[in-house]
Amino acid sequence: MTSSVVGCRIAVAVCGGIAAYKVASLVSQLVRLDAQVDVLMTEEAKRFVSALTFGALTHRAVHEDPWQLDNQGEIAHIALARSIDLLVVAPATAHTLARLAHGLADDVVTLIALATPAPVLLAPAMDAGMYGHPAVTENVTTLQQRGYHVVGPRSGRLASGLTGLGRLAEPDEIVAAVEALLHWRRDLAGVRIAVTAGGTQEPIDPVRFIGNRSSGKMGYAIAQAAVERGANVTLVSAPTSLPAPPRVTQVAIQTALELREALHGLLDQVDVIIQAAAVADYRVADPETTKIKRSGEALVLELVENPDIIAGIGALPQHPLLVGFAAETGAHLDEARAKLRRKGLDLIVFNDVSKQGSGFGSDMNEVTLVPARGEPEVLPLLPKLDVAHRLLDRVRDMLQASARSVL
């Protein structure tokens, strides 16, 4: 089977660590797979491996100078950032991870990482104890939340003679991660997807609301994954602390009724709706227009039921492909199946949010994909971006198989 790397333009950013010598093998493998490889090097990287080595392997000029112009007079790293399919940072040192996490741009590696809309794969490597340091852990988590992908590091004997977590993933493993990312390259090109995210907020008065614990991370991960695969994405988001993924159209909403209005306005503009938002089942009948003051007595709120937004769309004679979520606490899979049928969905994502390390607020999720036709797919505990890609694999297959196919 032909590798997904064939014909792709891949930038490999080499940073200053002893593992830089292994990157020569990585670059060689990518070139042998018929990728067009551009190498970028920090000044520190050149202490370990020369630019001549990578120039000889790629038969291309190595990017070292952030002020370098290309043949058309453009700043070289900006032109490169716009044209690549993937950026690999290897070895991603603790120093580089920190600069990326804080948005610093003082060399060709950080400049291209900030400028490119392409996926970024980090391959960390550092000496024992460093990768587990809270500062490094926090930086890696921050980058993953922003959509960066990570492969490794691995445990083993390090250059210092110590043994621990910090070895660069082997070139074969990094190539496999590259192939997995590029496998999804533009397989959803032209597909119009609306993703809802976050927890709706139903006002009690101007300063208080009824809400839920949704962080929005799952919906934002789906939006980012869809963009990476070439889809045109509209993200309908309740309030969150998350930055919008690049290249999405964002629609801000607060309440369930606003969410319904936004989705109905998109019905004839999208091919798929993925309802990942946690929608309040009830709202206050008559929110106060001024702040409710403490009175020393019990406060009684009259709640009325919100409309079931996705079920309403599913009942229409014609509608986009519909994906819903069933975030339950200890519920059985049969309940998700019943919800799928009741709401007229094509696929439902079932997860038990009471499980440790999964669900609300976590960067990980453990879900089961339950289609209207076919067998459920049980996924292990995975980063939410990986869950998003596995979900989109199902969406792609259903679009290809349906009369609504746009692929």
Asked if omega into 246 is within 30° of 0 (cis), the reply is: no
Find where tokens 């988590």 sit: 141
Alpha-carbon distance of 227 to 316, in angstroms, equals 28
Alpha-carbon distance of 52 to 54, in angstroms, equals 6
Alpha-carbon distance of 42 to 231, in angstroms, equals 34
Query: From the candidates 71, 139, 212, 351, which is the catalytic residue?
Result: 212
Kindly state the tokens that stand for 51.
């630019």
Q: How far is CA 344 from CA 15, 213, 219, 271, in A?
A: 51, 26, 20, 16
Query: How many beta carbons lie within 10 A of that of residue 74, not counting itself?
Result: 12
Query: What SS3 class is residue 359?
Result: coil
**Chain-centroid distance, C-alpha 389:** 8
**Chain-centroid distance, C-alpha 104:** 21
Beta-carbon contacts of 200 under 8 Å, excluding residues fewer than 6 positions away, are 211, 212, 238, 253, 254, 255, 256, 258, 259, 277, 278, 279, 280
Find where tokens 């101007």 sit: 206
Q: Could you tell me where the DSSP H helices lie in 40-133?
A: 51-58, 76-83, 94-101, 108-115
Alpha-carbon distance of 60 to 20, in angstroms, equals 18
Of 344, 358, 334, the C-alpha closest to 308 is 344
Does the active-site annotation cover 212? yes
Alpha-carbon distance of 190 to 35, in angstroms, equals 25
Q: Is residue 392 within 8 Å of 222, Cβ to Cβ?
A: yes
Q: Is residue 304 within 8 Å of 255, Cβ to Cβ?
A: no
Of 256, 250, 248, 222, the C-alpha closest to 236 is 250
Residues annotated as part of the active site: 212
